Structure 1
Amino acid sequence: MRPRKESEQVASRRNDHLGYREVLEKLQQRETISVSSSKMPSVYFCLCFLPFWPILPVSAGKPCDATSFGGSSVVCICNATYCDTMDPLVLPEKGLYLLYETTKAGKRLESKIGKILTNTKQEGLQLTFDVRKKYQQMKGFGGAITDAAAINILSLSAGSQENLLRSYFSKEGIEYNIIRVPMASCDFSTRVYTYDDHSGDLDLQHFSLTEEDTKMKIPIIQAAKAVSKRPMSLFASPWTAPPWMKTSNSTIGKGTLKGKPGGKYYKSWAKYFIRFLDEYAKHNLTFWALTAQNEPTTGMLTDYSFQCMGFTAEMQRDFILLDLGPALQSSAHKDVQLMILDDQRLLLPYWAKVNLNNYVTGWTDWNIALNLQGGPNWVKNFADSPVIVNSHQDTFYKQPMFYHMAHFSKFVPEGSRRVGLDPNAVTELESVAFLRPDGCAVVNVLNWKLWMNQDIQIVIITRCEAFRSGDPLKYKESKYDLRRAITTAKDQYRSKLETQTDTWRLCQGPNDITGSKKRQCKIADDDISLPDCLHALYTRFEQNFSREGNTYSNS
C-alpha cells in the first residue's frame, strides 16, 4: 500500500514522519482534488454554489510519462529531454473555476475548468467556505537537501538535474519554498563527520565546512533558488555536536552536551550554530530558521544507531534562553527564527507546554531525492522519497506523493491563511480551505472512499457577498475579536476556579451547537475542561459575529 511498492525501490519511511506517512501510504488508493476558480479578477475558488460540473479539459503543460512497477498506481518518468510540467497558474475568466485532480488511476494534477453556478437545487454533501473563520497563516512547504539527496541529484546528467530541480522549485513545477539543510552529517550521509573534529577546540578555531557542503549541497541550493520565482526559506538542523563536546564522546548512542546550559560546552555549541550561518552566508545563502536539535529524544536512547544528541524539553528551553538565543542576538543573524522539538508528533503537547503553543504552519518533507535502494544511508536506514533517481539510466521517477505535496505547495503560497470549510453532514472526505494573500481561495479535498470505487458528489458554497462583487476581498475586523475573547474567557475561568471551593465548567447540552442551551455542572477537580468552556465561548462569539453583519467589505 506504500508508494514505494510502485517500483519496489525504497524501504519504509522513517517514524519521525509517521503522521504524513499515514496519508501517503494510502495515496494510491485515494483521490486528491484541488479546487480553484476565478474571483474576478483574482481568485481560484470564488463562488456562491459550486458543484463539480460542468467541466471542460484545459491544457496542462507536458503530461506524465506514466509507467507501472507492479504497484496499484503509476510513477512519472523524467530524463534529460522530457519531464511532465504544469503551465504557470493563470486565473480563469470571471464566473469560472479551475479544478486540479490527482487519482489512483493515473491522473496527475490534471486541470479542468468549470462554470460557477449562482443557484443550484443539488442535494447531498455541501462544504461551506467561510472566511469569517480565520486560523493559522501558512509559511509553506518543502523538503530536505541532505548529503544523500545531493549525491543522487548530482549523479544525473546536467539536463536531468535541471528537470528535477525545476520539477520541485519552478513555476512549471510544484513550487517548494522551504529547504531543510542538515548541519554536517546525518544518517543520510556516506560518512560520519562534524565541522570541528578537533578535541577541546571550544573556540572553534578549526571549524570548517566540508566538501559535502561546498561541492554538493550549496551548489544545489543555489540552483534551486535560481529557478524559483518564490522567496526561498532555508532552515538548518544539527544531528550531533562533535563527540568531544558530549558526555558519550561519540556521535551516536545515548549522550548529551557536557555540563549544563550556560556552561562552556553549551556556549561553544551555540557558537557552532553561528559559525555555520557565517560560512553559508559567504556563499550568499542566508537562513530563515534553525531547529535546536534533530530528534532530541533519540539521544536519550542507549545504543541509538546513528548521529543524535539528547535534550529534554527543559534542557532545550534553557539552552535557547542562556546560550543559543543570546548568541544569535549578538550576531549578524539575529533575525533567524528558532524552532523547538523537531521530533515525533506524539511529543508535541508536552514540549509545547514547556516552550510554546501554536498552529502548524507548514510541512517539510525529508529527502527530496533518493536512489533505488532508498539511500545512500551509512547505517542502511533506508527511506522513501517523492522522487527516486535511477542514475544508471539517467532518469528519475516522480512518485504519487510528489503530486500529493503539489496540491498544497503549488496552490498555497506563503502568507495564505487557513479558513473555515464546514460540511453539512458527517463525511469521510478530508478537506481544508485557504485564502491566499492575493485574495484567491483554494480548497483541497481528499477522497478516502476511492479504494471502494465510490465517487462522492459535493457542492462547495459560500454566502460571502464579496465573492460576487468582482473586487479584491478585504477583511473588515469586527469589534468581537476572537483572540481577545478567548483570553478573557481563560482569565475568567481560572479566576472562577481560584475563588470557588468546587470546580465548575460549561457542559454541552443537546442544543449547544446553536448556543440556545447552556448549563453549569459541578465536576471533580481532576475533570477540569477548559476546551469545553472555550467551545461554548466560540459558539457565542460566532453568534455575535453574525449579528454584526458586513463582516467583509470591498473597500
Structure 2
Amino acid sequence: MKGLRSIIVFTVAILMISCNTEDKTLAIEVFETSEAGNKLSKITEFQNAEEKVVLKLNPDEKLQTITGFGGAFTESSAYLLNKLSKENRKKIIDAYFSKDGAHYSLTRTHMNSCDFSVSNYSYTPIEGDKDLEHFTIEEDKDDLIPFIKEAMAASTDGFKIFGSPWTAAPWMKDNNNWVGGKLLPEYYDTWALFFSKYVDAYKAEGIDIWGFTVENEPLGNGNNWESMHYSPDEMTNFVMNHLGPKLEADGKGDLKILGYDQNREHLKEWVDSQFKNEETSKYFDGTAIHWYASTFEVFPEELQYAHNKAPEKLLIQSEACVDAEIPVWQDDAWYWKKEATDWGFEWAPEKDRHMHPKYAPVNRYARDIIGCLNNWVDGWVDWNMVLDTKGGPNWFKNWCIAPVIVNPVTDEVYFTPLYYTMAHFSKYIRPEAEVIGLENSDKKLMATAAINPDGSIAIVLFNEHNTPKHISLLLKDKHVDFAIDAQAIQTIVIPTK
C-alpha cells in the first residue's frame, strides 16, 4: 500500500505542474490590408504601438446568423468578362468565388434590364401577353448565365443567388415607360407569374434561385433608369395577395421574399407595413436595404428598429457601391484617400449634406460592413463585380466603381483595395456563422466578430486613423497581443480547437 500511495502522490504532482504551466496564449492568424500596401497579407511580425486596445470576446453571446457576403451578377460585368482573354476571365471569377479567393457566398442579379445593362430589355416582350406564353430569358444566355455558371463551377461551397426586378415591361405599367410609374392592378397576377417563370427558366439552365427582392428601389431613383414604384402598403398587398400565394401554389414556397430594397432612412415605414401582423408577415422572409442615403452613416437606429420589429426575419444589405465616381486605375493610394464623393455630395438637401462628406472608398466599405454586422444585418452584397475604366458600360452612363476594374482593349485587370476589403469578410465569415459578443475598449477602432460553423472565430478590425494600435485580445482564460497598422483592415482567425 505504501508504494501505491507514492505513485498516486507523484501522479497528482505531475498534473498540478501541468495545470500550472498550461499555455494561456491564444493561437491566431492575422491577415491585413493596409494603406501601406498589404493586400490580405498574412502578418506574423507587428510594430510597436502606444495606443492600447482591449478586445474581449464572448462566444456565449450569440446574435444574428450570417446569410453571406458577395456581389451582383450584372450584364455590364458579364459583357466585360466576355471581352477578356480566357485566362483573365478565369482569374477574376476564381478570385471572387474560389476558396482561395474571396469565396463569395451571397449574390444578386437583375431580372429584366437595369442601369448596368447594355440596353433596355424584358423577358416579356409581347404586349398584352398576360399568361406570359412568350416569356424568355434568351437575352441572358450570352453573358449573365455563362458568368453565373462559371462562378458556380469555381465555388467549392456554392452560393445563394437572389433576383431583383428594376421594372416590369412598359406595357404592364400605368405610364407605359421603362422609367417610373406603377404596375397596373390588372397585371398583378401576371407579374407574380413572372417571378415563378423566372425560377423555372433559370432552373432549366442549371441555376437554382434562392429568393427575390420584390422591387429594386420602389421609391424610385429620380426618374433616371429602369424603375417601378410601390408604396409600403402597395408592396405588402402585392406580396400578401399575389406573389406569395403564386409561389406557394407553384410549389416554390421555400423561395425567400425580401421586401423594400432601398435606402435605410425610410426603413421603419416599410417594416411597419410588412410586419404589421401575422397575415402581412406570412410571405416576407426579410427586408433588403441599400446604403445610398449615406455611405458614411450606418443608420443604427433604423437597423435596430427593423430587427426588433421582426427579429426572426432576414435583414440583408442588397446593394452598395462607390457611385458618382469614375474608377481610378492602378492607384491603390487613391482608394484610401478622402477624395471620393457620393451622389449626395452635390445633390442632397442642405439638411442632409453632413451625411455625404468626401470619404475614402475603402473606409466606406469597411465602416459600413462592420457597422451593419454590429446592428443585426446578416448579409452584405456589393453591386457590380467588374466594371471598365470609365465605370461602365452602362446604357444610362451612370458611372460607378467596382472592386475589380478591367481594360478590355488591352486585356488588363486591376484588383482595387475594395476587392480585398470585401474578402476580409466573405472569405473568413461563412454562411451560418453567428455574430458574437465583443467588448471593445476603443470607440475609434471598429470591430466585429463571428463564430463559424466549424468552430473557428473571425474578428474583423478597421483602424481608419493615422496611428497603429496595440491590441490585447481575450477569449475566456486565454489572450494574445498584436498590433494593427494605421489605415488598415485586419481579419484575425482563431482556428478550430
2:429 aligned with 1:430, yes or no?
no
Corresponding residue pairs, total: 360
User: 2:263 and 2:418 mapped to 1: Cα distance?
Assistant: 21
Q: CA RMSD in A?
A: 2.3
2:401 is paired with a residue whose SS is: coil
The answer to whether the 8 A contact 1:293-1:342 is kept is: yes
Other-structure match for 1:265 = 187
2:176 is paired with a residue whose SS is: coil
2:279 aligned with 1:279, yes or no?
no
Taking a change above 3 Å as real, the CA distance of residues 464 and 248 of structure 1, as seen in their structure-2 partners, is: farther
**Which amino acid in the other structure matches residue 208 of structure 1?**
T
The answer to whether the 8 A contact 1:245-1:265 is kept is: yes
User: 1:292 and 1:312 mapped to 2: Cα distance?
Assistant: 12
Other-structure match for 1:207 = 135
1:142 is paired with a residue whose SS is: strand
1:215 is paired with a residue whose SS is: coil
User: 1:374 and 1:124 mapped to 2: Cα distance?
Assistant: 41
The answer to whether the 8 A contact 2:112-2:168 is kept is: no
Q: 1:462 aligns with which of 446, 467, 475?
A: 475
CA distances 1:198-226 after superposition (whole Å, capped 9, x unpaired): 21111111111133x11111111110010
Once the two structures are TM-superposed, the CA of residue 333 in structure 1 deviates from its matched residue by: 2.3
The answer to whether the 8 A contact 1:152-1:369 is kept is: yes
Taking a change above 3 Å as real, the CA distance of residues 133 and 194 of structure 1, as seen in their structure-2 partners, is: same
Other-structure match for 1:385 = 402
2:438 is paired with a residue whose SS is: strand
Other-structure match for 1:341 = 260
Taking a change above 3 Å as real, the CA distance of residues 160 and 124 of structure 1, as seen in their structure-2 partners, is: closer
2:237 aligned with 1:318, yes or no?
yes
Q: 2:33 aligns with which of 99, 102, 117?
A: 102
Once the two structures are TM-superposed, the CA of residue 132 in structure 1 deviates from its matched residue by: 2.4
User: 2:44 and 2:214 mapped to 1: Cα distance?
Assistant: 45
Once the two structures are TM-superposed, the CA of residue 113 in structure 1 deviates from its matched residue by: 4.2
1:343 is paired with a residue whose SS is: strand
Give identity over the alignment, percent: 34
Once the two structures are TM-superposed, the CA of residue 195 in structure 1 deviates from its matched residue by: 0.9
User: 2:126 and 2:385 mapped to 1: Cα distance?
Assistant: 32
Once the two structures are TM-superposed, the CA of residue 320 in structure 1 deviates from its matched residue by: 0.4
Other-structure match for 2:116 = 188
Describe how 1:226-305 pairs up with structure 2 within 5 A: 226-253=153-180, 255-259=181-185, 264-298=186-220, 304-305=223-224
CA distances 1:78-118 after superposition (whole Å, capped 9, x unpaired): xxxxxxxxxxxxxxxxx531000110011001103489xxx
- Structure 2: gaps (5+ residues): 1-21, 276-305, 308-375, 481-495
Q: 1:111 aligns with which of 42, 54, 57?
A: 42
**Which amino acid in the other structure matches residue 195 of structure 2?**
F
Once the two structures are TM-superposed, the CA of residue 332 in structure 1 deviates from its matched residue by: 3.7
Q: 1:141 aligns with which of 69, 72, 80?
A: 69
Once the two structures are TM-superposed, the CA of residue 123 in structure 1 deviates from its matched residue by: 9.3
2:182 aligned with 1:165, yes or no?
no
Describe how 1:373-452 pairs up with structure 2 within 5 A: 373-424=390-441, 426-450=442-466
2:379 aligned with 1:362, yes or no?
yes
User: 1:440 and 1:464 mapped to 2: Cα distance?
Assistant: 17
TM-score (norm: length of structure 1): 0.62
The answer to whether the 8 A contact 1:98-1:114 is kept is: no
User: 2:208 and 2:148 mapped to 1: Cα distance?
Assistant: 11
The answer to whether the 8 A contact 1:245-1:258 is kept is: yes
User: 1:435 and 1:126 mapped to 2: Cα distance?
Assistant: 19
CA distances 1:119-138 after superposition (whole Å, capped 9, x unpaired): xxx99320111112211000
User: 1:278 and 1:427 mapped to 2: Cα distance?
Assistant: 49
User: 2:406 and 2:24 mapped to 1: Cα distance?
Assistant: 44
Q: 2:225 aligns with which of 271, 282, 306?
A: 306
User: 1:228 and 1:351 mapped to 2: Cα distance?
Assistant: 35
User: 1:109 and 1:327 mapped to 2: Cα distance?
Assistant: 45
Once the two structures are TM-superposed, the CA of residue 49 in structure 1 deviates from its matched residue by: 7.2
Q: 1:217 aligns with which of 120, 141, 144?
A: 144
2:260 is paired with a residue whose SS is: coil
User: 1:49 and 1:309 mapped to 2: Cα distance?
Assistant: 58
The answer to whether the 8 A contact 1:97-1:113 is kept is: no
1:406 is paired with a residue whose SS is: helix
User: 2:244 and 2:23 mapped to 1: Cα distance?
Assistant: 49
Other-structure match for 2:489 = none
CA distances 1:390-416 after superposition (whole Å, capped 9, x unpaired): 112212111111000011000000010
User: 1:276 and 1:375 mapped to 2: Cα distance?
Assistant: 26
1:341 is paired with a residue whose SS is: strand
The answer to whether the 8 A contact 2:440-2:447 is kept is: no
- Structure 1: gaps (5+ residues): 1-46, 51-94, 116-121, 469-553
